Amino acid sequence: MSRIFSGIQPSGELHIGNYLGAVKNYAELQRSYESFFCIVDYHAITIPYEPEDLRARTREMMVSLLAAGLDPSTSTIFVQSMVPQHTELAWIFNSVTPLGELERQTQYKDKASRMESVPAGILNYPILQAADILLYRADLVPVGEDQVQHLELSREIARRWNARFGAEFFPEPQAKLTPARRIMGLDGNAKMSKSMGNTVGLLEPPDSVWEKLRPAVTDPARVRRTDPGTPEVCNIYHLHRAFSPPDVVANVETQCRTAGWGCIECKKVLFEHMNKELAPIRARSVEIRARPEIVDQVIGDGAATARRVASETMREVKERMGLV
């Protein structure tokens, strides 16, 4: 069975953009692949943060992942900093990665241009990312288009290390492109993001979801109720495509183009279908929160399994590199 690895930022509760763009897909993939899902808290410390906040966000992310359908009986779900081999392998990869390749990374240039003093961790981030993936010798990494460059660097690092120390030891991980499900922010911004305050939380109560949906930006051409719209330019239509059944989506298209529905009617229908999918997820999160020992158990078991696989890889790596 092929193996997949995915790293997930400890950003606290998931929002529906993360859910639709990544985690819902992981819940499907885990049926067909041996899966490692890692909450990457070491990646989160390269920018300023509060320790207590990070701890809470990591745990909250675990609750969200379990509620959203990641299954610890078939997948290994764990926290990166509990598996020390990630940083160990990252150091080793530091020794085979040219500085120039790191400096060329678009994400590094973007981040560094906004910082007065750039921590080395920002530059070396893709090396730790390569170590995350290659530690489990994963064949596939579910990624969005924007992460393909980082994955290419992971492949390059695998090639370099293999060429020097052990042909074919690390597989070159391939991108498993997730179906494009680009959900914009409710304010019409290109991206749904917590820092922009334009998200709907996956576990948010229905009243609060409706409070956010009601004023959400739609097709700007629909100024009056009688103005026809173009569904493709409207985020609410894309949310329908994610949450509503195909016959409802087809009806939304017709109603929008003919001004049959007003946008509020359209949002009410969306709200109903969102609720159908999100209500069981919210219910599961309540059950999980009521029994914190479940989260402790998943965190402990996940780390133990990950460490077992990781130490096997490191034993072989050290052997080939002449490390005692």
Which are the catalytic amino acids? 111, 191, 194
Nearest-approach distance from CB 199 to ligand SF4, in angstroms: 18
Q: Which parts of 224-243 interact with ligand SF4 (CB under 6 A)? A: 229, 231, 234, 236-237
The nearer residue to ligand SF4, 231 or 302, going by C-beta atoms, is: 231
Amino acid at 2: S
239 backbone φψ class: left, alpha, beta (φ>0; ψ -120 to 50)? alpha
**Alpha helices in 166-262, H assignment, sequence order:** 206-213, 235-243, 246-257
The number of beta carbons lying within 10 Å of the beta carbon of residue 235 is: 21
Only one of the segments 80-88, 200-208, 215-223, 305-313 lies at the binding site for ligand SF4 (rule: CB under 6 A); that segment is 215-223
Assigned token pair, 177:
């492109």
Q: Report the length, in residues, of the chain.
A: 324
| Binding status of residue 86 toward ligand SF4 by CB under 6 A | no
Distance of CA 163 to the CA centre of its chain: 31
Nearest-approach distance from CB 247 to ligand SF4, in angstroms: 15
210 backbone φψ class: left, alpha, beta (φ>0; ψ -120 to 50)? alpha
Q: Which of 222, 274, 306, 317 binds ligand SF4 (CB under 6 A)?
A: 222
Q: Which parts of 247-276 interact with ligand SF4 (CB under 6 A)? A: 252, 256, 261, 263, 266-267
| Binding status of residue 218 toward ligand SF4 by CB under 6 A | yes
**Whole-Å CA distances, 82 to 40, 236, 244, 290:** 10, 40, 39, 24
The nearer residue to ligand SF4, 138 or 183, going by C-beta atoms, is: 183
Nearest-approach distance from CB 242 to ligand SF4, in angstroms: 13
List of residues contacting ligand SF4 (CB under 6 A)? 218-219, 222, 229, 231, 234, 236-237, 252, 256, 261, 263, 266-267
